[in-house]
């Protein structure tokens, strides 16, 4: 039996040295160390041997078993290292190659235009303020000379919110313009006042290429002693030239807004045809960009500012219209479609 053990050990080690595949190694383990292997069967049959022979044979069998297990572990590690070496050779990393570029985010085109508009007016001494998008009827309409029966309410398709307080029913809405901040600012501040109010506004209307139910406006307000229409025109002339180019021409024509008197609309010469007339400007050579006027005396009285002492001007513009004119965009819905092919151009 000792001779059989030595032959078995010699054969096992000889095969182990030739193994180069993990699957072959598993087969070898089953063959020489498995429950049905000759070595394990020999160990189970020791009980049939005489005591002295059992001691000698059992000791040698255990030594061979431990040697085979040790050899198995070393061979397994050697095969793992060989696999790692082959893998590294196949998948070698060239650290001299440039890394993958990380795409950078950018500001939305509307945010870019809002920032540009604010920067222009801040350079003229205006302060940027923001207000609530959910507004009271009083601030959105009544305090701006638009009572409940005023026809000007029909110009703004309003999204109403019912809100009841213990003192009675009061109507709330999603603001239809940024003009309510005129009242809120003048309630808190005393002249001189120079503010602009950028923000989102909402209208309950059908969406098409030139209309959205949510869009952006910038409201401007200046109140002080001896402010005239000439101050309004000079401020807006400078704004138009900063935003659209120093060669821009501007035109003012009478218009109506309940909270200003007199009211005007401001237009610039067409960016495409330079005033000659084209499809963009409807052949007129001019494109309207904002409405403005002198703050109505009744609006000043509501916030306890004496219109005999102070005067002021206000203006408001739709923000989406400006990049549409500047970049020739023909559909306002593109700004909110989340199409990266469109947004990456700005």
> Which runs of consecutive H residues, i.e. helices, occur in 175-281?
180-188, 229-244
Please report the pLDDT score of residue 167 as a whole number. Answer: 47
Instruction: Give domain limits for the chain.
Output: 2-90, 109-343
Positions in the chain whose pLDDT score sits under 70: 1-2, 43-54, 57-58, 92-93, 155, 163-170, 275, 279-281
Q: Around 231, how many Cα atoms within 13 Å sit in the side-chain half-sphere? A: 17
Distance CA 271, CA 268 (A): 8
Token pair, residue 250, equals 């501007």
Question: What share of the chain has pLDDT > 70, as a percent?
Answer: 90
Q: What is the pLDDT of residue 3?
A: 72
Within 8 A by CB and 6+ apart from 98, the residues are none
pLDDT tens, 87-125? 777 776 677 878 888 888 889 999 999 999 999 999 999
Task: Specify the pLDDT at position 2.
Answer: 66
Residue 339, Cβ density class (10 Å: 0-12 exposed, 13-18 middle, ≥19 buried): exposed
Please tell us whether the domain made up of 109-343 is placed in CATH 3.30.930.10. yes
Name the residue among 289, 288, 294, 222 with its Cα closest to residue 256.
294
- pLDDT, position 284: 79
Region at 19 (left for phi over 0; alpha for psi -120 to 50; beta for the rest): beta
Please give the pLDDT value at position 302.
93
Burial class (CB in 10 A: 0-12, 13-18, 19+), 104: exposed
Q: Give the predicted TM-score (pTM) of the model.
A: 0.67
């Amino acid at each position: 039996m000792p001779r059989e053990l030595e032959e078995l050990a010699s054969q096992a080690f000889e095969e182990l040295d030739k193994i180069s595949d993990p699957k072959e190694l598993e087969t070898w383990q089953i063959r020489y160390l498995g429950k049905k292997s000759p070595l394990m069967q020999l160990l189970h049959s020791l009980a049939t041997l005489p005591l002295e022979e059992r001691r000698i044979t059992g000791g040698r069998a255990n030594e061979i078993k431990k040697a085979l297990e040790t050899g198995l572990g070393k061979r397994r590690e050697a095969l793992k290292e060989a696999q790692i070496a082959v893998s590294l050779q196949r998948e070698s990393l060239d650290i001299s190659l440039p890394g993958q570029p990380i795409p950078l985010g950018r500001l939305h085109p509307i945010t870019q235009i809002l920032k540009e508009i604010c920067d222009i007016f801040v350079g003229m001494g205006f302060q940027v303020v923001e207000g609530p998008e959910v507004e009271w009827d009083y601030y959105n309409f009544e305090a701006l000379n638009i009572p409940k029966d005023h026809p000007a309410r029909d110009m703004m398709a309003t999204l109403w919110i019912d809100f009841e307080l213990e003192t009675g029913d009061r109507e709330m809405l999603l603001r239809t313009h940024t003009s309510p901040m005129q009242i809120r600012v003048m309630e808190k501040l005393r002249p001189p006042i120079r503010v602009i109010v950028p923000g989102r506004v909402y209208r309950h209307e059908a969406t098409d290429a030139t209309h959205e139910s949510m869009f952006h406006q910038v409201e401007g307000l200046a109140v002080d002693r001896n402010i005239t229409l000439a101050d309004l025109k000079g401020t807006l002339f400078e704004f138009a030239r900063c935003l659209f180019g120093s060669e821009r021409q501007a035109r003012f024509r009478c218009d109506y807004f309940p909270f200003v008197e007199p009211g005007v609309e401001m237009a610039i010469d067409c960016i495409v045809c330079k005033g000659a007339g084209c499809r963009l400007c409807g052949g007129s050579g001019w494109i309207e960009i904002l409405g403005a006027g002198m703050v109505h005396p009744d609006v000043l009285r509501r916030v306890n500012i004496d219109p005999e002492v102070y005067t002021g001007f206000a203006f408001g513009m739709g923000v989406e219209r400006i990049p549409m004119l500047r970049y020739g965009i023909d559909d306002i819905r593109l700004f909110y479609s989340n199409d990266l092919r469109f947004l990456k151009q700005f």
